[in-house]
Structure 1
Amino acid sequence: MTEWLYGRHPVLEALRAGRPINKILLAEGASPRLMAPLLAAAREQGVPVQQVPRRKLDELVPAAVHQGVAAAVAARAYAEVADLLVRARERGEMPFLIVLDGIEDPHNLGAILRTADAVGAHGVIIPKRRSAQLTPAAVKASAGAAEHVPVARVANIARTLEELKAGGLWVVGTDAQADQDYRTADYAVPLALVVGSEGRGMSRLVRETCDVLVRLPMVGRITSLNAAVAAALLMYEVFRARHPIE
Protein backbone atom coordinates (compact mmCIF):
# COMPACT_ATOMS: atom_id res chain seq x y z
CA MET A 1 0.00 0.00 0.00
CA THR A 2 1.29 3.46 -0.94
CA GLU A 3 1.09 6.52 1.27
CA TRP A 4 2.28 10.10 0.93
CA LEU A 5 5.12 11.25 3.15
CA TYR A 6 5.43 15.03 3.29
CA GLY A 7 7.72 17.76 4.61
CA ARG A 8 11.36 18.50 3.72
CA HIS A 9 13.00 16.81 6.69
CA PRO A 10 10.88 13.62 6.73
CA VAL A 11 11.40 13.07 2.99
CA LEU A 12 15.13 13.82 3.23
CA GLU A 13 15.60 11.42 6.16
CA ALA A 14 13.62 8.75 4.30
CA LEU A 15 16.04 9.12 1.39
CA ARG A 16 19.09 9.00 3.65
CA ALA A 17 17.73 5.92 5.41
CA GLY A 18 17.27 4.14 2.08
CA ARG A 19 13.50 3.79 2.41
CA PRO A 20 11.96 2.78 -0.94
CA ILE A 21 10.42 5.84 -2.62
CA ASN A 22 8.52 5.65 -5.88
CA LYS A 23 8.66 9.35 -6.72
CA ILE A 24 8.90 12.80 -5.19
CA LEU A 25 6.58 15.65 -6.06
CA LEU A 26 8.03 19.15 -5.73
CA ALA A 27 5.88 22.28 -5.77
CA GLU A 28 6.60 24.68 -8.61
CA GLY A 29 8.42 27.71 -7.27
CA ALA A 30 9.89 25.90 -4.27
CA SER A 31 13.14 27.41 -3.00
CA PRO A 32 16.12 25.80 -4.79
CA ARG A 33 18.31 26.52 -1.75
CA LEU A 34 15.99 24.78 0.70
CA MET A 35 15.40 21.83 -1.61
CA ALA A 36 19.06 21.34 -2.63
CA PRO A 37 19.93 18.65 -0.05
CA LEU A 38 16.74 16.73 -0.85
CA LEU A 39 17.33 16.90 -4.61
CA ALA A 40 20.93 15.77 -4.21
CA ALA A 41 19.83 12.78 -2.11
CA ALA A 42 17.12 11.92 -4.66
CA ARG A 43 19.66 11.94 -7.49
CA GLU A 44 21.99 9.73 -5.48
CA GLN A 45 19.17 7.24 -4.80
CA GLY A 46 17.84 7.40 -8.35
CA VAL A 47 14.41 8.60 -7.22
CA PRO A 48 12.49 10.58 -9.86
CA VAL A 49 11.44 14.12 -8.94
CA GLN A 50 8.47 15.78 -10.64
CA GLN A 51 7.48 19.43 -10.37
CA VAL A 52 3.76 20.00 -9.92
CA PRO A 53 1.50 22.95 -9.09
CA ARG A 54 1.33 23.58 -5.34
CA ARG A 55 -2.42 22.92 -5.41
CA LYS A 56 -1.64 19.32 -6.42
CA LEU A 57 0.19 18.81 -3.13
CA ASP A 58 -2.61 20.57 -1.26
CA GLU A 59 -5.01 18.00 -2.70
CA LEU A 60 -2.77 15.02 -1.93
CA VAL A 61 -2.13 15.96 1.71
CA PRO A 62 -5.00 18.27 2.70
CA ALA A 63 -4.74 20.19 5.97
CA ALA A 64 -1.02 19.38 6.19
CA VAL A 65 2.06 21.60 6.12
CA HIS A 66 3.83 19.83 3.26
CA GLN A 67 6.52 22.53 2.75
CA GLY A 68 6.28 22.04 -1.00
CA VAL A 69 7.33 18.39 -1.11
CA ALA A 70 5.66 14.99 -0.91
CA ALA A 71 6.95 11.49 -1.61
CA ALA A 72 5.08 8.36 -2.63
CA VAL A 73 6.37 5.62 -0.32
CA ALA A 74 5.40 2.11 0.67
CA ALA A 75 3.41 1.98 3.90
CA ARG A 76 5.80 1.85 6.86
CA ALA A 77 6.73 -1.62 8.09
CA TYR A 78 6.71 -2.21 11.84
CA ALA A 79 9.43 -4.02 13.75
CA GLU A 80 9.07 -6.92 16.18
CA VAL A 81 9.84 -6.46 19.87
CA ALA A 82 12.67 -8.97 19.47
CA ASP A 83 14.22 -6.68 16.84
CA LEU A 84 14.51 -3.88 19.40
CA LEU A 85 16.36 -6.15 21.83
CA VAL A 86 18.68 -7.34 19.07
CA ARG A 87 19.44 -3.69 18.27
CA ALA A 88 20.55 -3.12 21.87
CA ARG A 89 22.66 -6.28 21.86
CA GLU A 90 24.37 -5.33 18.59
CA ARG A 91 25.32 -1.98 20.11
CA GLY A 92 26.62 -3.63 23.25
CA GLU A 93 24.19 -1.60 25.36
CA MET A 94 21.60 -2.30 28.06
CA PRO A 95 18.15 -2.30 26.45
CA PHE A 96 16.24 0.96 26.65
CA LEU A 97 12.72 0.71 25.26
CA ILE A 98 9.89 3.26 25.29
CA VAL A 99 6.43 1.75 25.73
CA LEU A 100 3.41 3.93 24.95
CA ASP A 101 0.17 2.87 26.59
CA GLY A 102 -2.45 4.50 24.39
CA ILE A 103 -0.86 7.72 23.08
CA GLU A 104 -3.54 8.87 20.63
CA ASP A 105 -2.14 12.12 19.20
CA PRO A 106 0.14 11.43 16.18
CA HIS A 107 2.03 14.65 16.92
CA ASN A 108 2.85 13.36 20.41
CA LEU A 109 3.98 10.05 18.93
CA GLY A 110 6.20 11.90 16.47
CA ALA A 111 7.69 14.10 19.20
CA ILE A 112 8.41 11.03 21.36
CA LEU A 113 10.16 9.34 18.44
CA ARG A 114 12.28 12.46 17.97
CA THR A 115 13.42 12.41 21.61
CA ALA A 116 13.89 8.62 21.55
CA ASP A 117 16.33 9.05 18.68
CA ALA A 118 18.15 11.85 20.52
CA VAL A 119 18.75 9.78 23.67
CA GLY A 120 19.67 6.58 21.83
CA ALA A 121 16.64 4.50 22.79
CA HIS A 122 16.53 1.15 21.01
CA GLY A 123 12.90 1.38 19.96
CA VAL A 124 9.32 2.24 20.77
CA ILE A 125 6.43 -0.14 21.44
CA ILE A 126 2.81 0.84 20.78
CA PRO A 127 -0.50 -1.06 20.91
CA LYS A 128 -2.21 -2.06 17.69
CA ARG A 129 -5.52 -0.52 18.74
CA ARG A 130 -6.63 2.71 20.38
CA SER A 131 -3.29 4.34 19.71
CA ALA A 132 -1.62 6.69 17.25
CA GLN A 133 0.15 4.76 14.50
CA LEU A 134 3.04 5.56 12.16
CA THR A 135 0.95 7.78 9.92
CA PRO A 136 2.48 10.49 7.72
CA ALA A 137 1.42 13.04 10.36
CA ALA A 138 3.40 11.21 13.05
CA VAL A 139 6.39 10.83 10.75
CA LYS A 140 6.27 14.55 9.92
CA ALA A 141 6.13 15.44 13.63
CA SER A 142 9.18 13.24 14.26
CA ALA A 143 11.29 15.47 11.95
CA GLY A 144 12.78 12.38 10.34
CA ALA A 145 13.42 10.39 13.53
CA ALA A 146 10.82 7.81 12.47
CA GLU A 147 13.31 6.60 9.86
CA HIS A 148 15.86 5.76 12.57
CA VAL A 149 13.83 4.55 15.58
CA PRO A 150 12.11 1.19 15.05
CA VAL A 151 8.51 0.93 16.22
CA ALA A 152 6.92 -2.37 17.24
CA ARG A 153 3.16 -2.94 17.50
CA VAL A 154 1.74 -5.44 19.98
CA ALA A 155 -1.73 -6.73 20.74
CA ASN A 156 -1.42 -6.42 24.51
CA ILE A 157 0.90 -3.98 26.29
CA ALA A 158 0.63 -5.62 29.74
CA ARG A 159 1.47 -9.05 28.35
CA THR A 160 4.42 -7.62 26.41
CA LEU A 161 5.74 -5.99 29.58
CA GLU A 162 5.53 -9.32 31.40
CA GLU A 163 7.56 -10.93 28.62
CA LEU A 164 10.15 -8.15 28.80
CA LYS A 165 10.39 -8.60 32.57
CA ALA A 166 10.93 -12.32 32.08
CA GLY A 167 13.79 -11.39 29.76
CA GLY A 168 15.50 -9.33 32.44
CA LEU A 169 14.14 -5.81 31.85
CA TRP A 170 12.85 -3.56 34.61
CA VAL A 171 9.61 -1.72 33.89
CA VAL A 172 9.28 1.88 35.09
CA GLY A 173 5.92 3.60 34.66
CA THR A 174 4.76 7.17 35.15
CA ASP A 175 1.89 7.88 37.54
CA ALA A 176 0.85 11.23 38.97
CA GLN A 177 -0.06 9.52 42.27
CA ALA A 178 3.21 7.63 42.67
CA ASP A 179 5.24 8.14 45.84
CA GLN A 180 8.66 8.09 44.17
CA ASP A 181 10.12 11.19 42.50
CA TYR A 182 11.35 10.37 38.97
CA ARG A 183 14.79 11.78 39.85
CA THR A 184 15.43 9.11 42.47
CA ALA A 185 14.84 5.95 40.41
CA ASP A 186 17.63 3.71 39.14
CA TYR A 187 17.72 3.85 35.35
CA ALA A 188 21.13 2.24 34.83
CA VAL A 189 19.49 -1.14 34.24
CA PRO A 190 17.88 -2.90 31.25
CA LEU A 191 14.75 -0.80 31.04
CA ALA A 192 11.30 -0.43 29.56
CA LEU A 193 9.93 3.06 30.25
CA VAL A 194 6.13 3.26 30.10
CA VAL A 195 4.27 6.47 29.28
CA GLY A 196 0.48 6.54 29.58
CA SER A 197 -2.11 8.18 27.37
CA GLU A 198 -2.72 11.91 27.25
CA GLY A 199 -5.88 11.88 29.32
CA ARG A 200 -6.15 8.63 31.27
CA GLY A 201 -2.53 7.76 31.92
CA MET A 202 -1.65 4.08 32.13
CA SER A 203 -4.32 1.42 32.22
CA ARG A 204 -4.80 -0.47 35.48
CA LEU A 205 -3.24 -3.70 34.19
CA VAL A 206 -0.21 -1.89 32.82
CA ARG A 207 0.23 0.05 36.07
CA GLU A 208 0.11 -3.18 38.06
CA THR A 209 2.72 -4.74 35.79
CA CYS A 210 5.29 -2.00 36.42
CA ASP A 211 8.17 -2.73 38.81
CA VAL A 212 8.48 0.94 39.75
CA LEU A 213 6.10 3.90 39.50
CA VAL A 214 7.47 7.45 39.42
CA ARG A 215 5.90 10.89 39.34
CA LEU A 216 6.97 14.21 37.91
CA PRO A 217 6.73 16.79 40.74
CA MET A 218 4.65 19.86 39.87
CA VAL A 219 4.19 23.02 41.94
CA GLY A 220 2.13 25.08 39.49
CA ARG A 221 -1.60 25.16 38.94
CA ILE A 222 -1.60 22.83 35.93
CA THR A 223 -2.02 19.25 37.09
CA SER A 224 -0.33 17.40 34.23
CA LEU A 225 2.21 17.75 31.44
CA ASN A 226 1.83 17.03 27.76
CA ALA A 227 2.61 13.33 27.23
CA ALA A 228 5.49 14.03 24.86
CA VAL A 229 7.02 16.55 27.29
CA ALA A 230 6.75 14.12 30.21
CA ALA A 231 8.28 11.37 28.08
CA ALA A 232 11.17 13.65 27.09
CA LEU A 233 11.96 14.50 30.72
CA LEU A 234 12.04 10.83 31.67
CA MET A 235 14.06 9.77 28.64
CA TYR A 236 16.71 12.36 29.40
CA GLU A 237 16.81 11.23 33.02
CA VAL A 238 17.64 7.76 31.70
CA PHE A 239 20.24 9.31 29.42
CA ARG A 240 21.77 11.21 32.36
CA ALA A 241 21.98 8.04 34.45
CA ARG A 242 23.66 6.11 31.67
CA HIS A 243 25.97 8.87 30.40
CA PRO A 244 27.34 10.72 33.43
CA ILE A 245 29.46 13.79 32.76
CA GLU A 246 33.11 12.92 33.15
Structure 2
Amino acid sequence: MHRGRRVLQVEKRRVERGQPIGHGPILTYWCTGPVQETQVSPKDRFLTVYGRKPVLEALGDPALRVDKVILADTARAPEIEQAARKAGVQVRRASAHRVKVLAGNGKQEQGVLADVVAPRMRPLSAALSKAPLPTRVLLLDGITTPANVGMILRTATAAGIGGVVVPRRGVAALDPLVVKASAGVAFRAPVLRCATAAEAAGMLSDAGYRLYGLSASGGEALFEAELPERAAFVFGGETAGVSEEVAELLTGWLSIPMPGDVESLNVSAAAAVLCFDLVRRGS
Protein backbone atom coordinates (compact mmCIF):
# COMPACT_ATOMS: atom_id res chain seq x y z
CA MET A 1 0.00 0.00 0.00
CA HIS A 2 1.45 3.33 -1.03
CA ARG A 3 -0.19 6.38 0.45
CA GLY A 4 -0.05 9.48 -1.72
CA ARG A 5 1.87 7.69 -4.45
CA ARG A 6 2.17 9.91 -7.49
CA VAL A 7 4.17 9.95 -10.65
CA LEU A 8 5.38 13.11 -12.36
CA GLN A 9 6.31 12.81 -16.01
CA VAL A 10 8.03 15.89 -17.31
CA GLU A 11 7.14 15.00 -20.91
CA LYS A 12 3.55 14.03 -20.25
CA ARG A 13 2.27 16.84 -22.45
CA ARG A 14 4.36 15.58 -25.35
CA VAL A 15 2.90 12.13 -25.04
CA GLU A 16 -0.62 13.54 -24.90
CA ARG A 17 0.08 15.49 -28.11
CA GLY A 18 1.28 12.33 -29.81
CA GLN A 19 4.86 13.50 -30.14
CA PRO A 20 7.59 10.84 -30.08
CA ILE A 21 8.92 10.02 -26.64
CA GLY A 22 12.42 9.73 -28.00
CA HIS A 23 12.60 13.51 -28.37
CA GLY A 24 13.80 13.65 -24.78
CA PRO A 25 13.93 11.47 -21.67
CA ILE A 26 10.92 10.96 -19.45
CA LEU A 27 11.92 11.85 -15.93
CA THR A 28 9.80 10.02 -13.39
CA TYR A 29 9.56 11.17 -9.79
CA TRP A 30 7.82 8.81 -7.38
CA CYS A 31 6.60 10.27 -4.14
CA THR A 32 5.60 7.92 -1.34
CA GLY A 33 5.53 10.50 1.41
CA PRO A 34 8.34 12.80 2.54
CA VAL A 35 11.45 12.63 0.38
CA GLN A 36 14.08 10.44 2.01
CA GLU A 37 17.73 11.10 1.20
CA THR A 38 19.49 7.79 1.68
CA GLN A 39 22.99 8.89 0.77
CA VAL A 40 24.42 12.34 0.15
CA SER A 41 27.03 12.50 -2.58
CA PRO A 42 30.30 14.28 -1.73
CA LYS A 43 29.46 16.58 -4.66
CA ASP A 44 26.46 17.75 -2.63
CA ARG A 45 28.55 18.52 0.47
CA PHE A 46 31.85 19.92 -0.78
CA LEU A 47 33.15 22.42 -3.29
CA THR A 48 36.36 21.14 -4.86
CA VAL A 49 39.12 23.63 -5.53
CA TYR A 50 42.20 22.70 -7.51
CA GLY A 51 45.56 24.27 -8.23
CA ARG A 52 48.25 25.13 -5.74
CA LYS A 53 47.35 28.76 -5.09
CA PRO A 54 43.57 28.17 -4.61
CA VAL A 55 44.27 25.23 -2.28
CA LEU A 56 46.76 27.25 -0.22
CA GLU A 57 44.25 30.10 0.03
CA ALA A 58 41.53 27.72 1.20
CA LEU A 59 43.83 26.18 3.83
CA GLY A 60 44.83 29.63 5.07
CA ASP A 61 41.29 31.01 5.34
CA PRO A 62 40.02 30.59 8.93
CA ALA A 63 36.43 31.04 7.74
CA LEU A 64 36.60 27.86 5.64
CA ARG A 65 36.69 24.23 6.73
CA VAL A 66 38.70 22.02 4.42
CA ASP A 67 37.74 18.36 4.63
CA LYS A 68 40.81 16.92 2.90
CA VAL A 69 43.60 17.63 0.45
CA ILE A 70 44.48 15.18 -2.30
CA LEU A 71 47.93 15.27 -3.89
CA ALA A 72 49.04 13.39 -6.98
CA ASP A 73 51.63 10.76 -6.14
CA THR A 74 54.04 12.56 -8.47
CA ALA A 75 53.46 16.01 -6.93
CA ARG A 76 55.99 17.65 -4.66
CA ALA A 77 54.22 20.29 -2.61
CA PRO A 78 55.85 20.77 0.80
CA GLU A 79 54.17 24.17 1.28
CA ILE A 80 50.74 22.60 0.86
CA GLU A 81 51.53 19.70 3.18
CA GLN A 82 52.81 22.16 5.78
CA ALA A 83 49.70 24.34 5.49
CA ALA A 84 47.47 21.26 5.78
CA ARG A 85 49.26 20.09 8.93
CA LYS A 86 48.91 23.55 10.45
CA ALA A 87 45.18 23.54 9.67
CA GLY A 88 44.72 19.98 10.93
CA VAL A 89 43.61 18.74 7.51
CA GLN A 90 44.38 15.25 6.28
CA VAL A 91 46.43 14.84 3.10
CA ARG A 92 45.82 11.88 0.83
CA ARG A 93 47.82 10.63 -2.13
CA ALA A 94 46.30 9.41 -5.39
CA SER A 95 47.45 8.74 -8.92
CA ALA A 96 47.90 11.75 -11.17
CA HIS A 97 45.08 10.44 -13.36
CA ARG A 98 42.76 10.13 -10.37
CA VAL A 99 43.46 13.72 -9.32
CA LYS A 100 42.64 14.94 -12.83
CA VAL A 101 39.36 13.01 -12.78
CA LEU A 102 38.39 14.33 -9.34
CA ALA A 103 39.26 17.90 -10.30
CA GLY A 104 37.36 17.63 -13.56
CA ASN A 105 40.13 19.66 -15.16
CA GLY A 106 43.08 18.07 -16.89
CA LYS A 107 45.16 21.21 -17.42
CA GLN A 108 45.03 23.41 -14.35
CA GLU A 109 44.77 21.16 -11.33
CA GLN A 110 48.61 21.08 -10.87
CA GLY A 111 48.39 17.75 -9.08
CA VAL A 112 46.50 19.06 -6.06
CA LEU A 113 42.91 19.60 -4.99
CA ALA A 114 40.98 20.22 -1.80
CA ASP A 115 37.41 19.47 -0.74
CA VAL A 116 36.00 22.50 1.07
CA VAL A 117 32.88 22.08 3.19
CA ALA A 118 29.94 24.09 1.87
CA PRO A 119 27.67 24.25 4.95
CA ARG A 120 24.56 25.47 3.13
CA MET A 121 24.81 23.16 0.13
CA ARG A 122 22.46 20.18 0.11
CA PRO A 123 20.38 18.06 -2.26
CA LEU A 124 17.17 19.64 -3.52
CA SER A 125 15.31 16.57 -2.29
CA ALA A 126 16.53 17.28 1.25
CA ALA A 127 15.38 20.90 1.06
CA LEU A 128 11.91 19.75 0.00
CA SER A 129 11.62 16.95 2.54
CA LYS A 130 10.83 18.97 5.65
CA ALA A 131 9.54 22.35 6.74
CA PRO A 132 10.25 25.15 6.47
CA LEU A 133 10.67 25.02 2.71
CA PRO A 134 12.53 27.89 1.06
CA THR A 135 9.86 30.27 -0.19
CA ARG A 136 11.74 31.67 -3.17
CA VAL A 137 14.37 29.80 -5.17
CA LEU A 138 16.30 30.29 -8.40
CA LEU A 139 16.73 27.45 -10.90
CA LEU A 140 19.67 27.57 -13.31
CA ASP A 141 18.89 25.88 -16.60
CA GLY A 142 21.77 25.53 -19.05
CA ILE A 143 23.97 28.40 -17.79
CA THR A 144 27.44 27.29 -18.85
CA THR A 145 29.60 30.35 -18.18
CA PRO A 146 31.29 29.98 -14.76
CA ALA A 147 31.39 33.75 -14.25
CA ASN A 148 27.60 33.96 -14.60
CA VAL A 149 27.01 31.11 -12.16
CA GLY A 150 29.41 32.64 -9.64
CA MET A 151 27.86 36.09 -9.84
CA ILE A 152 24.35 34.66 -9.51
CA LEU A 153 25.39 32.78 -6.36
CA ARG A 154 26.88 35.96 -4.89
CA THR A 155 23.83 38.05 -5.70
CA ALA A 156 21.32 35.47 -4.46
CA THR A 157 23.22 35.05 -1.19
CA ALA A 158 23.39 38.82 -0.68
CA ALA A 159 19.63 39.10 -1.30
CA GLY A 160 18.78 36.32 1.14
CA ILE A 161 17.27 33.99 -1.48
CA GLY A 162 16.31 30.65 0.07
CA GLY A 163 18.06 28.47 -2.48
CA VAL A 164 19.77 28.36 -5.86
CA VAL A 165 19.27 25.09 -7.71
CA VAL A 166 22.50 24.25 -9.56
CA PRO A 167 22.03 20.97 -11.49
CA ARG A 168 25.02 18.68 -11.88
CA ARG A 169 24.46 18.38 -15.63
CA GLY A 170 23.94 21.20 -18.11
CA VAL A 171 25.29 23.97 -15.86
CA ALA A 172 28.87 25.10 -15.28
CA ALA A 173 30.59 22.98 -12.64
CA LEU A 174 31.09 24.51 -9.22
CA ASP A 175 34.83 24.89 -9.65
CA PRO A 176 37.45 27.55 -8.80
CA LEU A 177 36.27 29.74 -11.70
CA VAL A 178 32.78 29.89 -10.14
CA VAL A 179 34.25 30.47 -6.69
CA LYS A 180 36.41 33.30 -8.02
CA ALA A 181 33.48 34.95 -9.81
CA SER A 182 31.47 34.80 -6.58
CA ALA A 183 34.37 36.38 -4.67
CA GLY A 184 34.35 33.37 -2.34
CA VAL A 185 30.63 33.57 -1.52
CA ALA A 186 30.00 30.28 -3.36
CA PHE A 187 31.35 28.42 -0.33
CA ARG A 188 28.44 29.66 1.81
CA ALA A 189 25.75 30.08 -0.82
CA PRO A 190 22.42 28.21 -0.37
CA VAL A 191 23.13 25.78 -3.22
CA LEU A 192 20.62 23.01 -3.92
CA ARG A 193 21.81 20.09 -6.07
CA CYS A 194 20.00 17.72 -8.38
CA ALA A 195 20.76 15.86 -11.62
CA THR A 196 19.14 18.12 -14.22
CA ALA A 197 17.07 21.28 -14.49
CA ALA A 198 14.12 19.24 -15.80
CA GLU A 199 14.26 17.00 -12.73
CA ALA A 200 14.40 20.05 -10.46
CA ALA A 201 11.45 21.69 -12.22
CA GLY A 202 9.38 18.56 -11.73
CA MET A 203 10.27 18.26 -8.06
CA LEU A 204 9.56 21.92 -7.37
CA SER A 205 6.24 21.81 -9.22
CA ASP A 206 5.26 18.67 -7.33
CA ALA A 207 6.14 20.41 -4.04
CA GLY A 208 3.72 23.25 -4.78
CA TYR A 209 6.02 25.85 -6.29
CA ARG A 210 4.87 28.05 -9.16
CA LEU A 211 7.59 28.27 -11.79
CA TYR A 212 8.33 31.45 -13.73
CA GLY A 213 10.74 31.83 -16.62
CA LEU A 214 12.66 35.07 -17.19
CA SER A 215 12.33 36.32 -20.74
CA ALA A 216 13.93 39.23 -22.56
CA SER A 217 10.62 40.00 -24.23
CA GLY A 218 7.03 39.04 -23.64
CA GLY A 219 5.59 37.92 -20.37
CA GLU A 220 4.31 40.00 -17.50
CA ALA A 221 6.41 42.92 -16.31
CA LEU A 222 8.34 41.79 -13.25
CA PHE A 223 7.73 44.92 -11.18
CA GLU A 224 3.96 44.68 -11.63
CA ALA A 225 3.48 40.92 -11.31
CA GLU A 226 1.71 39.43 -8.31
CA LEU A 227 3.84 36.55 -7.15
CA PRO A 228 2.76 33.64 -4.95
CA GLU A 229 4.42 32.98 -1.63
CA ARG A 230 6.21 29.90 -2.95
CA ALA A 231 7.85 30.48 -6.32
CA ALA A 232 10.84 29.31 -8.36
CA PHE A 233 12.42 31.54 -11.00
CA VAL A 234 14.12 29.87 -13.95
CA PHE A 235 17.12 31.43 -15.67
CA GLY A 236 17.93 29.84 -19.00
CA GLY A 237 21.23 29.40 -20.77
CA GLU A 238 23.17 32.22 -22.36
CA THR A 239 22.32 31.06 -25.89
CA ALA A 240 19.38 28.65 -25.82
CA GLY A 241 17.38 30.14 -22.96
CA VAL A 242 15.02 27.98 -20.90
CA SER A 243 14.96 24.39 -22.10
CA GLU A 244 11.80 22.95 -23.61
CA GLU A 245 11.42 20.34 -20.86
CA VAL A 246 11.44 23.03 -18.18
CA ALA A 247 9.32 25.49 -20.17
CA GLU A 248 6.48 22.97 -20.26
CA LEU A 249 6.19 23.20 -16.45
CA LEU A 250 6.21 26.99 -16.19
CA THR A 251 3.28 28.86 -14.71
CA GLY A 252 4.19 31.93 -16.76
CA TRP A 253 6.91 34.27 -18.00
CA LEU A 254 8.28 37.45 -16.48
CA SER A 255 10.21 40.20 -18.21
CA ILE A 256 12.30 43.11 -16.93
CA PRO A 257 11.09 46.45 -18.31
CA MET A 258 13.85 48.12 -20.34
CA PRO A 259 12.82 51.52 -21.71
CA GLY A 260 16.28 52.04 -23.18
CA ASP A 261 17.48 50.73 -26.53
CA VAL A 262 18.82 47.39 -25.28
CA GLU A 263 17.44 44.00 -26.28
CA SER A 264 18.38 41.99 -23.20
CA LEU A 265 20.50 41.77 -20.06
CA ASN A 266 23.24 39.33 -19.21
CA VAL A 267 21.71 36.45 -17.25
CA SER A 268 23.59 37.34 -14.06
CA ALA A 269 22.42 40.97 -14.34
CA ALA A 270 18.83 39.79 -14.85
CA ALA A 271 19.16 37.58 -11.78
CA ALA A 272 20.37 40.57 -9.75
CA VAL A 273 17.36 42.64 -10.80
CA LEU A 274 14.96 39.87 -9.83
CA CYS A 275 16.67 39.09 -6.51
CA PHE A 276 16.56 42.67 -5.30
CA ASP A 277 13.03 43.18 -6.54
CA LEU A 278 12.16 40.32 -4.17
CA VAL A 279 14.02 42.21 -1.43
CA ARG A 280 11.98 45.29 -2.28
CA ARG A 281 8.81 43.28 -1.93
CA GLY A 282 9.88 42.21 1.52
CA SER A 283 10.43 38.54 0.67
* Segment drifting more, 75-84 vs 98-107: 75-84
The offset of 1:139, in angstroms, is: 1.2
Distance between the aligned counterparts of 2:269 and 2:188, measured in 1?
20
Q: Is the 8 Å Cα contact of residues 84 and 150 (structure 1) preserved in structure 2? A: no
Runs of 4 or more, structure 1, over 6 Å off, are 60-64, 75-78
Match of 2:66, SS? coil
Residue aligning to 2:123: 80
Residue aligning to 1:219: 259
Distance between the aligned counterparts of 1:13 and 1:182, measured in 2?
43
Residue aligning to 1:16: 63
Report which of the two has the higher share of helix: 1
| Structure-to-structure mapping, 1:22-101, within 5 angstroms | 22=69, 45-46=87-88, 72-74=113-115, 79-85=122-128, 89=131, 94-101=134-141
Q: Answer yes or no: is 1:167 the counterpart of 2:207.
A: yes
Residue aligning to 2:224: 184
Normalising by structure 1, what TM-score?
0.69
Residue aligning to 2:12: none
Distance between the aligned counterparts of 2:227 and 2:241, measured in 1?
21
Q: 1:110 aligns with which of 134, 150, 154?
A: 150
Deviations 1:68-102 (A, max 9, x none): xxx84127786310233469x4xx57422210010
Q: Is the 8 Å Cα contact of residues 14 and 147 (structure 1) preserved in structure 2? A: no
Q: Is the 8 Å Cα contact of residues 85 and 95 (structure 1) preserved in structure 2? A: no
Residue aligning to 1:4: 50
Distance between the aligned counterparts of 1:115 and 1:13, measured in 2?
25
Q: Is the 8 Å Cα contact of residues 66 and 89 (structure 2) preserved in structure 1? A: no
Q: Could you tell me which amino acid in structure 1 is paired with residue 127 of structure 2?
A: L
Q: Answer yes or no: is 1:240 the counterpart of 2:240.
A: no
> Which structure 2 segments of 5+ residues have no match?
1-41, 43-47, 71-76, 91-104
Task: Tell me how many residue pairs correspond in the alignment.
Answer: 211
Residue aligning to 1:124: 164
Cα RMSD between the aligned structures?
3.9
Q: CA, structure 1 residues 95+179, in 2 after alignment: closer, same or farther (shift >3 Å)?
A: closer
Distance between the aligned counterparts of 2:60 and 2:207, measured in 1?
33
Q: Answer yes or no: is 1:197 the counterpart of 2:237.
A: yes
Q: Is the 8 Å Cα contact of residues 205 and 249 (structure 2) preserved in structure 1? A: no
Distance between the aligned counterparts of 2:254 and 2:198, measured in 1?
18
The offset of 1:3, in angstroms, is: 4.2
The offset of 1:15, in angstroms, is: 4.3
Distance between the aligned counterparts of 1:111 and 1:26, measured in 2?
34
Match of 2:177, SS? helix
Normalising by structure 2, what TM-score?
0.61
Q: CA, structure 1 residues 3+148, in 2 after alignment: closer, same or farther (shift >3 Å)?
A: closer
The offset of 1:124, in angstroms, is: 1.7
